[in-house]
Amino acid sequence: MSVTLQAFLRDFAGSDPQKQAVAAAVERIAEAGIAIADLVAQGPLADHFAKIMGDEANAGGDAQKELDVISEEVIIAKLKQAPVAFLGSEESETPIPLNDVGSLVVAVDPLDGSSNIDTNVSVGTIYSILPYSAAQFPDPVDALKQKGSAQLAAGFLIYGPSTVLVSTLGAGTQVFALDRASGDFILAKAAVEIPAQTKEYGVNQSNMRHWDTPMRAYIDDCLAGKDGPRAKDFNMRWVGSMVADAFRIFTRGGVYLYTGDKRKGYEQGRLRLIYEANPVAFITEQANGAATDGKTRILDIQPEKLHQRIPLVFGSKDEVAKIASYY
Ligand code: AHM
Ligand code: MG
């Protein structure tokens, strides 16, 4: 018998009010995902979606596309129907108030990989769910700046050949796939296990000349293959949508690397700690993988700024440890 996301969440929540709140938030995000998947599927029929809006960059300093903005609006409308007090978004400078009462805050990258919209490559929505109370966090920014280890749930939707939800509620990582006939997300994998070892890495190698010494040394050793110090041949895969690269890693192992480099604005890499690194680190660890900035476990890092970037390495546990040893 197939298990729907709704049934899975009901089971998880039982009669615990905070878990019920998390379940409601995840369900609303999944609904937003169905709407965004339909928009993404328009592809070249809606090529205006990939147009850069004005000359304005978003809060994180990236060009903002029409579909980035629409995706954020869809998520806001849905999460207003859940006990979520504030939304932190990669696309917005400050937290967006959603409900006067709510025991949660949610952080999102509404459309990850949006530079790929017009190329028919998978893009996705990343989310992180954190506990909130007005008494503890008079300033909602501080609620969003909790360490990744405080997350109650996290996940991402990927809009690819299939629309998939990768979710953790803090006990393992599950994969749900959208059944278009019924409109339900159906449990497809109850426990994702990232193989501890791998021969596959993902990195934007065109940045090699900008990398720091440990990063260069690691990739040099991979490239040396069987005759080098690693004594095995490596394969390289890089989509350039983190959700797509992450889904491959959850499927067959591998490591993703976007560390800091010498380019201006890339000193701390490209990915954002609160909207991207923390949720991906949580899902990865719950699937037996690991995530680090090279020196510190991602989930142990205290965020300093809402839109802060962080060097990110995640995936197969033993390979992540190996990369950390170069640092
Ligand atoms: P985005 O959130 O603005 O889309 O940026 C994040 C993306 C990741 O999805 C992807 O892995 C990376 O940035 C690609 O960066 P680059 O174009 O520098 O290779
Ligand atoms: Mg992103």
pLDDT along the chain (327 residues), means of 10: 96 98 98 97 86 71 86 98 98 96 97 92 98 97 98 98 98 98 97 98 97 97 97 97 98 97 96 98 98 98 98 98 97
Q: With a 6 A CB cut-off, is 242 part of the ligand 1 pocket?
A: yes
Alpha helices in 44-157 (DSSP H): 66-79, 140-144
Token output for 209: 């000349």
Distance 289 CA to ligand 1 centre (A): 21
Distance 206 CA to ligand 1 centre (A): 14
How far apart CA 196 and CA 194 sit, in angstroms, is 6
> Exposed, middle or buried, 216 (CB in 10 Å: 0-12/13-18/19+)?
middle
pLDDT at residue 77, rounded to an integer: 98
CB-based contact 283:262 (threshold 8 Å): no
Nearest bound ligand to the CA of residue 116: 1
Q: With a 6 A CB cut-off, is 109 part of the ligand 1 pocket?
A: yes
E strand segments, the chain: 52-57, 63-65, 84-89, 96-97, 104-112, 123-131, 153-159, 163-168, 173-179, 184-189, 200-202, 235-236, 255-258, 290-292, 312-315
pLDDT at residue 53, rounded to an integer: 78
- For domain 5-189, say whether CATH 3.20.20.70 is its number: no
> Exposed, middle or buried, 291 (CB in 10 Å: 0-12/13-18/19+)?
buried
CB-based contact 261:203 (threshold 8 Å): no
The segment(s) of the chain belonging to CATH 3.30.540.10 are: 5-189
Q: With a 6 A CB cut-off, is 112 part of the ligand 1 pocket?
A: yes
CB-based contact 172:153 (threshold 8 Å): no
C-alpha to C-alpha distances, 257 to 230, 315, 319, nearest whole angstrom? 18, 9, 11
Which atom of ligand 1 sits closest to the CA of residue 204?
19
CB-based contact 123:117 (threshold 8 Å): yes
Non-local (6+) Cβ contacts of 81 within 8 A are: 24, 28
Non-local (6+) Cβ contacts of 7 within 8 A are: none
Three-state SS at 109: strand
Radius of gyration of the chain (CA): 19
Q: With a 6 A CB cut-off, is 204 part of the ligand 1 pocket?
A: yes
Non-local (6+) Cβ contacts of 65 within 8 A are: 49, 50, 51, 52, 53, 111, 114, 117
**Mutational pocket test of ligand 1: of 58, 62, 115, 211, the residue with most ligand atoms within 8 Å of the beta carbon:** 115
**Residue of 261, 247, 256 whose CA lies nearest to 292:** 256
How far apart CA 320 and CA 281 sit, in angstroms, is 12
CATH (one of 3.40.190.80, 1.10.1530.10, 3.30.830.10, 3.40.640.10) for 200-326: 3.40.190.80
How far apart CA 128 and CA 104 sit, in angstroms, is 10
Q: Which residues on adjacent β-strands are paired with residue 175? A: 166, 189
Count of CB atoms within 10 A of residue 52's CB?
15
Token output for 101: 């009462």
pTM reported for the whole predicted model: 0.96
Nearest residue (by CA) to ligand 1, atom 11, is 242
